[in-house]
Amino acid sequence: MQIKTLGKLIVSIAFCTNSATSLAAEVTVSAAASLTNAFKEIAQNYQAQYPEAKVSLNFGASGALLQQIAKGAPVDVFASADQESMDEAQKQGLVVAGDRRDFVKNTLVLIAPIDSILSIKRLEDLSQAGVKRVAIGNPGSVPVGRYTQYALTAAKLWPALEAKAIYTQNVRQSLDYVARGEVDSGFVYATDAAIMKDKVKVVMAVPLDMSVTYPVAKIKASSNGDEARRFIAFLFLPQSQAILVKYGFQKP
């Protein structure tokens, strides 16, 4: 009986040890919607290089992801499409300054359906009567929406275009609306427009007096800190940077 009991104890300890090892190799990454395609490929490469690891990806508007983290969502890594969201995460004590790093840069662009017959070449052209709906990320939670509001305010067009705005929950929703012709134009990142070249056309790169840089950081309360740091370091390796460049991102 004692031998059987000892055997069961050893098996139980081994099981717990294996489970702990497995959990230690798991990392949950909340990333801006515009990173979807690139991060899926990077995660596959990461898991191929570290077979014991498992990457869970959660995509959405940076503001919405931040709210989830603030409410206790079990997230290890946060990759934001703007500095403001990461600043707020730091202000709330969710990340520490020393853990955040800028890893890519993007460009804000104005797009229209590929078959659009409207003459839209400048931001001012959005004021014409023929343009009735413009997809804009919700400035309250979507970084691309904030960048858009900054640009339109600087061009003194925001009050007029606000009435035409169709607010979206993230940049990919704006892209979809334009691709399906449900709006006359929309504001997205260059990387988003590039994945639907057959359905949308880039009208222009929108001038901004700020850089569209993406910071990434380990969540302070992460229970998988080592794995979070390893994944973040992986983003800066040449192979991962090459994937980001392939999808149109630029170095910060």
Residue 2 pLDDT > 60? no
Tell me the pLDDT tens digit for each residue of 163-191.
999 999 999 999 999 999 999 999 999 99
Q: Are 113 and 179 in contact (CB under 8 A)?
A: yes
**141: confidence class by pLDDT, cuts 50, 70, 90:** confident
Q: Which residue has the tokens 């500095």?
A: 83
User: What pLDDT, in 10s, does the model give residues 30-68?
Assistant: 999 999 999 999 999 999 999 999 999 999 999 999 999
Average pLDDT over residues 128-155: 94
> Could you tell me the CA-to-CA distances from 147 to 2, 3, 106, 157, 233 in Å, in that order?
69, 68, 11, 14, 28
Percent of the chain exceeding pLDDT 90 equals 84
Whether the Cβ atoms of residue 230 and residue 118 lie closer than 8 Å to each other: no
* CATH placement of domain 2-105+213-246: 3.40.190.10
Tokens of 31: 């990333």
Beta strand pairing status for 26-32 and 77-79? parallel
Let me know if the fold of 2-105+213-246 is the same as that of 108-205.
yes
Highest CATH level, class, for 108-205: alpha beta
User: 88 falls in which pLDDT band (50, 70, 90)?
Assistant: very high
The domain limits of the chain are: 2-105+213-246, 108-205
* Residue 134 in this model has a pLDDT that exceeds 70: yes
pLDDT score recorded for residue 9: 42
